[in-house]
Amino acid sequence: MDIELAIHQRASCPRLDAPGPDAEQLERLLRAAARAPDHGLLRPWRFIVVQGDERVRLGQMLAQCAREDDPDLPDVKYEKLLNAPLRAPTVVVVVAEVILEHKVSVMDQIMACAAGVQNLLLVAHAIGVGAIWRTGAPALSPSLKVRLGFRREDEIVGFIYLGTPCATHKTLSADSVAPFMRALPSD
């Protein structure tokens, strides 16, 4: 697929059905993510692929860690987190395992991972895999980072939900860039 067409046609799929991507498709998606622009070639991205019954375990981790972070977490939020990973057949957790005190800033390392996610989303669209990038409170949970095997200083860049695209989803018209333009301030 033409790259510009993929960029303009891509749209998130909040509702994703089974099946999820097969092993070959998953490999293509992750290879695309790992081919992001990467300051210092630090390869900061880490991927946890969660499928099948493992999604139940991920849901338990999301809910339990949220309660650990906030003992007053309402039951309704606990339940929602418990079921969150079941919204798609496959969830890829993307984590930036960052190097602190490096000449390449932590921000650059996180941005490289975000660029990788966009690569993944574009290839997903091109090969007919539905996807949506989610973060929410769990991405900021220190206890979840540790529960997933990372350190508190690492960053969860996203939970990428993958599956068979929902039957109907929006088509977006290309934005005019005019409202986003700013002139370089004069001296």
**Using CB under 6 A as the criterion, which residues of the chain lie in contact with ligand FMN when the complex forms?**
11-12, 132-136, 158, 172
- Looking at beta carbons only, is 47 or 133 nearer to ligand FMN? 133
Q: Which residue has the tokens 């929902």?
A: 166
Measured CA to CA in angstroms, residue 65 lies from 11, 53, 62, 80, 111 at distances of 30, 19, 5, 13, 25
- Looking at beta carbons only, is 11 or 56 nearer to ligand FMN? 11
What SS3 class is residue 25?
A: helix
Q: Please, what is the minimum distance in Å from the beta carbon of residue 186 to ligand FMN?
A: 33
Closest CA relative to residue 165, chosen from 1, 5, 11: 11
The residues near 30 (Cβ < 8 Å, ≥ 6 apart) are 47, 49, 92, 120
Measured CA to CA in angstroms, residue 169 lies from 1, 16, 45 at distances of 19, 11, 29
Q: Please, what is the minimum distance in Å from the beta carbon of residue 172 to ligand FMN?
A: 6
- Looking at beta carbons only, is 41 or 167 nearer to ligand FMN? 167
- Looking at beta carbons only, is 11 or 99 nearer to ligand FMN? 11
Q: Rounded to an integer, what is the distance from CA 138 to the centroid of its chain?
A: 12
Q: Please, what is the minimum distance in Å from the beta carbon of residue 61 to ligand FMN?
A: 17
- Looking at beta carbons only, is 171 or 186 nearer to ligand FMN? 171
Question: Contact 44/38 with Cβ under 8 angstroms?
Answer: yes
Which two structure tokens, joined as six digits, stand for 134?
Answer: 């989610």
| Rounded distance between C-alpha atoms, residue 165 and residue 33, angstroms | 20
Q: Please, what is the minimum distance in Å from the beta carbon of residue 58 to ligand FMN?
A: 15
Q: Please, what is the minimum distance in Å from the beta carbon of residue 173 to ligand FMN?
A: 11
